[in-house]
Chain A
Amino acid sequence: MNFAFSEEQEELRRTVRQFLDSKSPETEVRRLMETTEGYDPAVWKQMGQELGLQSLAIPEEYGGQGFTFIELGIILEEMGRVLLCAPYFASVVLAANAILNAGTDDEKKSLLPGIASGDSIATLAFTEPNGKWGADGVTMEASEKGGSWTLSGEKMFVLDGHTADAIVVVARTAGTTGTDGISFFTVSGDADGLTRTALSTMDMTRKQAKLEFSNVAATPLGAAGSGWDAFSKTLDQAAVALSNEMMGGAQFVLDMSVQYAKDRVQFGRPIGSFQAIKHKCADMLLEVESGKSAAYYSSWAAAEDNEELPVVAALAKAYCSEAYFHATAENIQIHGGIGFTWEHPAHLYFKRAKSSEIYLGDATYHRELLAQRIGI
């Protein structure tokens, strides 16, 4: 039994942190969150060329470096810590894993190297205006005529959907419901009949789009109609990845709170000497450390791709999302009035936390998934 990162993994964390501290300071986050694109193409390129972050967890045969979800989790934790504005989660977590899970070998060879190099940005469009996160939410039907497929309908809350070069779409074959008939397709970002609208997001540091499809020509990814297992696994992997990302932000706001509690003097003493504040910080630490335990364990399950993954993914998402939101909310309270201002970064984390809690389904949703998966 060894529940710790290796020295190489710690080194990776240091490298990524150093890079992000210089490329994604708060001023950059604030600049990019005000733009429609929401990321800096030059930094994106450096991430790929200098650090190879996009390729790290993609298998070598598809242009990647063949590392695992444990390393991917470390990168995401560091990105969450600084609220990096980039389509990394959309392209490297959602789209790449959907392609790995659903695609044929040829499809992977054609689609993944571009994602791995960072030359191509991809995303996964699965949610619709109904706001459901599982198979039931997918109502878009794919039409087939003489071996050619077209898509019509609307996808919502698509991460970086307005900037992605390639869109992996989850739809279903005609007349199916539930987990039957789930199918993956790929669509080019500039396809005819596709209208992309950037949304005004609560969390301005992560961009989303509405995608309207009107008879858009689509290429099947894997066998049409039998995509549920691949979709379900993609969602579990995304939950694991997001849990790790959330814990990076949670640790950051905890550090912020503790520092402020040491510095801020009221009644002639640092507010952190009062138990009311001290105990809040202690609870935050307990939840952040516990959330890390859950997130790291889920990374391991995803790396091993073992039978624990579905339960552990739901567990981590449920626990980490509540821990993160609680930490960001307490951070505002501990900072008092200053924590409520636009100038202070507390609200950026607060909004990211709530948005991450809801995205992929909230804690209640994931506890229900877990209940089903352990047979309650």
Chain B
Amino acid sequence: MDFTDTPAEAAFRDEIRTWLAENLKGEFAALGSAGGPADETGWDTRVEWARLLGRDRWTGLSWPVEYGGRGADVAQQIIYSEEYARANAPSSVSFFGEGLFAPTLIAWGTDEQKRRFLPGIQMCEELWCQGFSEPNAGSDLANVQTRGVLDGEEWVVDGQKVWTTLAHRSDWCFVVTRTDPESSGHHGLSYLLVPMDQPGVDVRPLRQMTGSAEFNEVFFDGARTAKENVLGPVGEGWKVAMATLGFERGTAFLSQQLAFEEEVTRVLDIARKNGAADDPVLRDELAARYIGLQVMKYNGMRMLTNLVKSGHVGPEASIGKLFWTTWHKAFGETAMKVLGADALTVAESGAGTYDLDELHQIFMASRAETIYAGSSEIQHNIIGERVLGLPREPR
């Protein structure tokens, strides 16, 4: 047990710290940690910033060197995320490409596929969205109805996806489709990579309770993609999708969790200034949120140590997902209590607009966190069945 850097880790920390100090300037620095995986604030500037990160191979840090990465180990990835959060750098625009698709591609892709798609992700030239959920495939994700049919040298895709974050910004979609029409459940599915800019793809925005519209419905009507654009074997799409979900529940949100520290600091500052910290009940709640944040960090370090040893994210990642989403939701509610009457108005909005300030954004956006990437109820089932070995619900 040791939480200090080895000399090599300290050198790496120094390298990223120096890079950030030299590059996080001007309009990039002005953005602060604005934006989020599903928040388009400062979009164009964030894309530019992402290209800078890609140029110097900070994006793709963990990828093998032969694919343009640095082959960084888990400890280095953590250090990178810590320093990135500490520097208050802009949130990634490429959560789905960089955080979810790239690791899935590295695990399941052919050499050709990796060479085709990784550079576009690294340089933020191609953005990705996730085509998993459907109107009748939410928690029951295996009930996918979107069909993929091979027509000569191309797949033809028909169906509807929903809750597709940033589909309107994306160049590609990784789509779970039913390629065996006779199949049901998690059999007969394939993980297709479909270009978004074509007549067969129609993206319609869904306005969320936050007022903005990062979510979309995506309609595939005879959409086409080349035969080779299937990740993993045909018919094995469920396994590939589970790998993506493993990353989503495991490590992908690590940098976001590190950013929670800044959110807590902010709320504590407000509480000290407006007197909320003197209220004994609220004081107890603030301390509880602070404890939750630290425990989340300790859990993360234990999980990552385990990841280094075992080489894979296990079902226990569900504990992390359940913990951070539940905590963030509670924290959003605490933030509203701290604001008190000031919570009644959405800061800086004139009448007729609905632009959320950071705390209202946390309060509302966190309601989605216990739903996406497997709802809290699904995470409870996974923990119960796959970690504790309890019998499955009759299905």
For residue A371, CB closer than 8 A to chain B, the reply is yes
- Complex contacts, A289 vs chain B, CB 8 Å: 299, 302, 316, 319
User: Would B387 and A285 count as touching, CB distance under 8 A?
Assistant: yes
Query: Which listed segment binds B: A130-138, A147-155, A292-300?
Result: A292-300
For residue B78, CB closer than 8 A to chain A, the reply is yes
User: Would B305 and A1 count as touching, CB distance under 8 A?
Assistant: yes
For residue A2, CB closer than 8 A to chain B, the reply is yes
- Complex contacts, A5 vs chain B, CB 8 Å: 1
User: Would A286 and B322 count as touching, CB distance under 8 A?
Assistant: yes
Q: Could you tell me the distance between the alpha carbons of A269 and B1 in the complex, rounded to whole angstroms?
A: 43
Name the residue of chain B whose CB is nearest to the CB of A278: B384
Question: Would A319 and B301 be within 8 Å (CB), given that A273-B393, A278-B384 are in contact?
Answer: no
User: Would A282 and B1 count as touching, CB distance under 8 A?
Assistant: no
Cβ proximity bits B196-215 to A, threshold 8 Å, 1 near / 0 not = 00000000000000000000
Cβ proximity bits A281-314 to B, threshold 8 Å, 1 near / 0 not = 1110110011011101101100100000000100
Q: Could you tell me the distance between the alpha carbons of A4 and B74 in the complex, rounded to whole angstroms?
A: 15
Which of under 10, 10 to 19, 20 to 34, or 35 or more describes the interface residues of B? 35 or more
8 nearest A-B pairs in the assembled complex, by CB-CB distance? A278-B384, A293-B298, A367-B287, A282-B383, A272-B390, A273-B391, A3-B301, A282-B380
Hey, which bits of chain A sit against chain B, CB under 8 A? 1-6, 70, 258, 261-262, 269-270, 272-275, 277-279, 281-283, 285-286, 289-290, 292-294, 296-297, 299-300, 303, 312, 315, 318-319, 364, 367-368, 370-371, 374-376
User: Would A2 and B1 count as touching, CB distance under 8 A?
Assistant: yes
- Complex contacts, B288 vs chain A, CB 8 Å: 318, 367
User: Would B385 and A278 count as touching, CB distance under 8 A?
Assistant: yes
- Ordered by A's residue number, 15 sampled pairs between the chains whose C-beta atoms are within 8 Å are A1-B304, A1-B305, A2-B1, A269-B394, A274-B393, A275-B380, A277-B390, A278-B385, A282-B379, A285-B388, A286-B322, A286-B383, A319-B295, A370-B290, A371-B283
User: Would A376 and B272 count as touching, CB distance under 8 A?
Assistant: yes
User: Would A282 and B291 count as touching, CB distance under 8 A?
Assistant: no
- Complex contacts, B272 vs chain A, CB 8 Å: 375-376
Q: Could you tell me the distance between the alpha carbons of A277 and B385 in the complex, rounded to whole angstroms?
A: 12
User: Would B2 and A315 count as touching, CB distance under 8 A?
Assistant: no
For residue B323, CB closer than 8 A to chain A, the reply is yes
Contact of A1 among B301, B377, B379 (CB under 8 A): B301
User: Would B388 and A282 count as touching, CB distance under 8 A?
Assistant: yes
Question: Would A286 and B309 be within 8 Å (CB), given that A315-B294, A367-B291 are in contact?
Answer: no
SS class of chain A's interface: helix, strand, loop or mixed?
helix
- Complex contacts, A283 vs chain B, CB 8 Å: 380
User: Would A368 and B390 count as touching, CB distance under 8 A?
Assistant: no
Most buried by A among B268, B290, B380, B390: B390
Name the residue of chain B whose CB is nearest to the CB of A272: B390
Using a CB-CB cutoff of 8 Å, which residues 1-22 of chain B contact chain A? 1-3, 5, 9
- Complex contacts, A278 vs chain B, CB 8 Å: 380-381, 384-385, 390, 393
User: Would A262 and B305 count as touching, CB distance under 8 A?
Assistant: no
- Complex contacts, A375 vs chain B, CB 8 Å: 272
User: Would B295 and A293 count as touching, CB distance under 8 A?
Assistant: yes
Query: A269-B391, A299-B1 are known contacts; what are 18 more A-B pairs with Cβ within 8 Å?
Result: A1-B5, A1-B75, A1-B301, A1-B304, A3-B301, A4-B302, A269-B394, A273-B391, A275-B380, A282-B380, A282-B383, A282-B384, A293-B295, A293-B298, A296-B1, A318-B287, A370-B287, A376-B287
- Complex contacts, A269 vs chain B, CB 8 Å: 391, 394
